[in-house]
Amino acid sequence: MNLKDIHRVFFIGIGGIGMSALARYFKHLGKEVMGYDKTPSPITKDLNLSGIDVHFEDAVALIPENYKNINDTLVVYTPAVPQTHTQLLHFQDLGFEVKKRSEVLGMITRDTFCFAVAGTHGKTTTSCILAHLLKETQTPFTAFLGGISEDFNSNFVLEGIENSVVEADEFDRSFLQLSPNVACVTSMDADHLDIYGNSSELEYSFREFVKRIKPNGKLLVRNGLPLEGITFGIEDDSDYSIRNITIEQGTYIFDLITPKAVLGQVKFNKPGRHNLLNGLAAFAMAVQAGSPPYRLAEALGTFKGVQRRFSYQIKEKDFVFIDDYAHHPTEINAVHDAIREMHPDQLITAVFQPHLYSRTQDFVDDFAQSLSQFDEVLLLEIYPAREKPITGVTSSWLLEKIDNPRKQLVDKSNLIDELKKNETGVLVTMGAGDIGLEVPKIKKELAYAS
């Protein structure tokens, strides 16, 4: 089915960050769009406000008659939806065009100049920075983002159709549906072992993704990864490198080394060396498309950020509250190091909600080591997402392994009461589950208390 033949699109799992961006895209094209999701959320509320109907019951009766024309209706689903889903089975049994989100993304971007950001960490921030840089250099593009960009206040940006910006997601090998012109790989840490089984298979999948780059395309690779490409790094001999870093009032100032020039006094406002690398990757990708390096360097200084990526919720002299999406030990380490760098000598309390039983099981010792670095740890129960419980894999099990005298398991319903007793200098909430929904409540209560 060609995109021009599609008149209606039904999304199963429409409330996901990537799915909702696609829904907005089809709505913008003038297609009829609706869908199902498991629970209401701020995203589904915004979809409703934009004229996209969302329901929360898995029932065939809720599929309108006009969505039962097999010839002009596309069905899109996320792998997070179980294969036993009633509506999914209904469309499959009747022979509808049913595609994964990644397949549709591949269809949309195939005829564009495609920028694809891959990596087990940093995809969303890098993609959002890249979108910002392209916007600031008047490069037309469409972006499908895995988070809400604070520069665009959206996860979908339409500034033209010639170029596309996408996240190349390794989960379920989704990125193998893409054929990018410019790709980057930010990281290849072991993750999604419920899909891959081991880190070698994950690495093999990244190599297969690299083969998908179009002829004469470019690959950007963080220095040290086992891939051949144009390298980027910090204080090293990479093709693109950041050197001579200083910090002034929470802003990084540095020299940016390119293969052809040295750009001095470049500014970047997002804390953390990992975010510096994300910014550098986005800069190097944009250069490959012909954007002027000096303008891109200026644009780095005006990037606002991404919701739930080291997002300051409260920033007072005596108290700071930060929220982050970190859900892997490497990401938790990066958040910890960024806080220590930006807020030295402050006591840090971490609230962490583990995401997935399988990930907790696979990396329990690494999680324990990462969390032990904080001055105090409040641990929530595991957010299951798509998974069934695994015997013995609990937050209590993880808590036992954390080497920190100030640690406790907290029920989400009691979290704010516990935080009100806290006298920390920096509070950070982390996790990829529904902890993000608690952040506005925490912010309101603690801002009032302070």
| 124 belongs to an annotated ligand binding site | yes
Measured in whole angstroms, how far is the alpha carbon of residue 246 from the centre of its chain?
27
Query: DSSP H helical segments within 164-272, as ranges?
Result: 193-196, 199-211
Beta carbons of 354 and 367 less than 8 angstroms apart: yes
Rounded Cα distance, 232 and 329, in Å: 23
CA-closest candidate to residue 338, choices 312, 364, 301, 302: 312
| 251 belongs to an annotated ligand binding site | no
| 186 belongs to an annotated ligand binding site | no
Strand 348-352 versus strand 426-430 pairing type: parallel
Rg (C-alpha) for the chain, rounded Å, is 22
Give me the amino acid identity at 176. L
Strand 251-257 versus strand 97-100 pairing type: unpaired
Query: DSSP H helical segments within 402-450, as ranges?
Result: 415-421, 439-449
Beta carbons of 406 and 370 less than 8 angstroms apart: no
Rounded Cα distance, 284 and 270, in Å: 18
Rounded Cα distance, 432 and 352, in Å: 9
| 122 belongs to an annotated ligand binding site | yes
For residue 49, what are the β-bridge partners? none
Query: DSSP H helical segments within 35-137, as ranges?
Result: 42-49, 86-93, 101-109, 123-136
For residue 57, what are the β-bridge partners? none
Q: List b or e across 99-112, with b for residues whose CB sees 16 or more CB atoms inside 10 angstroms.
A: bbbbebbbbbbeeb
Q: Is the dihedral of CA 208, 356, 323, 249 positive or negative?
A: negative
**320 phi and psi, to 5 degrees?**
-130, 135
Residue numbers in the known binding site for ATP are: 119-125
Residue numbers in the known binding site are: 119-125
